[in-house]
Structure formats: structure tokens, C-alpha cells
Chain A
Amino acid sequence: DQQVKQNSPSLSVQEGRISILNCDYTNSMFDYFLWYKKYPAEGPTFLISISSIKDKNEDGRFTVFLNKSAKHLSLHIVPSQPGDSAVYFCAARPTGGTSYGKLTFGQGTILTVHP
């Protein structure tokens, strides 16, 4: 069963506009969420994260929103730039107890930003 889902395999956006990437999760034990960005032939690189005690976290052009009741999070990129073109993965982890940080990833969304 897919505990973290990214239902849009791809997204195409014009440079300067907003990109919105979505992610849904089913496991209520998850309480920390991360977004990773991946270029071809490279490993994922950390982008931004959010704890379940917050509903928004912002870092420059990147903002992550968390709706716990809907088990949904989204990543907003404003303004989008061609260099943002990559695969974006949503990941989740539980905290507390015996957890040590094992990440569960979604399938990824390919973002293409057109000049």
C-alpha cells in the first residue's frame, strides 16, 4: 500500500508563474514531512520540511502547506524558474517512540518550467 502518494506524475508551468505540487498520506503516525528535489543522475537533495505542529513553512521562493485533517501537503514555488525543472519527491517520517527517521517517499512529480 502506498502510504505517501503524489497523484500528478508531471506538471508543466510557465516561467514566473506559481508551481503547486501536491502530496497525500495515509499513515497518521507521520508527523514530519519533507520535500526533496532530484536532477537526473544525482541523488535527491533536501528542499524544505514541515512539522505537524505547523501548517506552513516558508523558505524563499518555496512554501510548504500542511493540512493535517485532510492528510495533505503541498509545495508552492513562486516564481517558478527554468532551473526548478526536476523531479520533486514528498517524503514523510514518524517521530517519537523507536523511530529513527526512516523516510517513506511518494512516487515523484516531474516539474517542467518553460522559459
Chain B
Amino acid sequence: AQTVTQSQPEMSVQEAETVTLSCTYDTSESDYYLFWYKQPPSRQMILVIRQEAYKQQNATENRFSVNFQKAAKSFSLKISDSQLGDAAMYFCAYRSALRQGAQKLVFGQGTRLTINP
């Protein structure tokens, strides 16, 4: 079974600085999808960024980018120019691509990010 590990329960960063959140996963599969979700105090789960394992190019979405290291099974999230609105819990998630149909997302434990003004 696949597992996702976020080794940083909490992180903090000064506003306007850059922060990197870590995520590692364990799988024997070669094709899969990886996601970062943001959960602000409102509890809403918001998709931040998505990476397809067969694509070598790292995904980027505005100030958010990932460092995807397939051999190391690492998928870190970099937030540039941190803003107060980035404060949230961030979850890394894995989805197998082996079969079609509904496949569960496997979530890490989350990293709570605090932005210091």
C-alpha cells in the first residue's frame, strides 16, 4: 500500500520570503499523480498544484512550484513571496494511475504553515 509522509508538522516563514514544505511517498508503481492541497482555517480543501509522475517537468502555479524527484520519491512544495493568506495546513496526496475508475487519494499528515508579518 502506498504511504505519504510529511515530516514537518509545523513550519513558519516571514512574509515575502520563500518556504519549502517536504513530502515523501512510498510506492512500487511507476505511474501516479501527486497533489498539494491547502486547508485554511475555513476547513475548505483547496487544490494548489498537481504533478503527473510521467512528466519530468516540475509543475508551477504562480507562486507555487514543486520539486519532483521521482527516484527519491520526493515531492516538495515551494511557496515564493509568502503572503499572509498562505497560512494554512498543507497536505500532500498520492493517487495511483494504474487503474481507471475511482482511485482514492492517500494523504500525508499535513504541515501547518504560519506566515509571520
B partners with A: no
Q: Which residues of A contact B (CB under 8 A)?
A: none
